[in-house]
Amino acid sequence: MKNKTLLHKVKENVTHKLQAGLVLLVAVIMIFNTSNFVVADNNDSTVLNMVVNAGVLEIVNLDATATFNSLDAGDNGTVNTLLENGIIRDYRESPAEYTVYAYSAALAGQTDSNYEIPNTAITVHPDTATIVNVDQYDTNSFGALADHNLSVNSGMFNSTYNAVGAVAFNELQLNLYIDGSYPAQEYSGTMVVSVIADS
């Protein structure tokens, strides 16, 4: 009887050890299958490359239109408008100084084009603009130039910043003086703002 009990306990002990060993073996196989083990003789490698190309010097996002305050026919006066959202981006390989220029065509009558307001009557005031950092730009390096009329392509701002980045100008004031000789109609002309690298 003692031998049977002893034999039964040994059998039970062996069974438990076999079951535990089996569970351990299954766990090891599962871990091996779900892990990213690399077998030394069964792999290869590749080098991943990516090139960031040099960007450009450009002006973007300028308001599509800017409308002067109205004036009644027969009245002399100066009207104004604000130019907004001019963003200058410089992501060239070797960023350097640049100047922002402005020029405008005469404002031609939209009903009777025999009448036009000369571009000499439009004055830009760069020192009124608010200068804002857009991306990694030192706004102290962006300076306003002198007021001027828009009959010639003259500088409004100059940048002395020598690193990549972007800066914006807002609330740039334009004044327009007209006398009372212009008939009532809408007058329109295109203003071109450009950014040119200083040589």
Contacts of 68 (CB under 8 A, 6+ apart): 79, 80, 81, 174, 176
- 104-128: pLDDT as tens digits: 999 999 999 999 999 999 999 999 9
Instruction: Tell me the pLDDT of the chain averaged across its residues.
Output: 87
Q: What is the pLDDT of residue 88?
A: 96
Q: Where are the domains of the chain?
A: 57-197
Q: Is the pLDDT of residue 73 over 70?
A: yes
35 or 182, which is more confident: 182
Q: Is the pLDDT of residue 96 over 70?
A: yes
Which CATH architecture describes the domain 57-197? Answer: Sandwich (2.60)
- 130-167: pLDDT as tens digits: 999 999 999 999 999 999 999 999 999 999 999 999 99
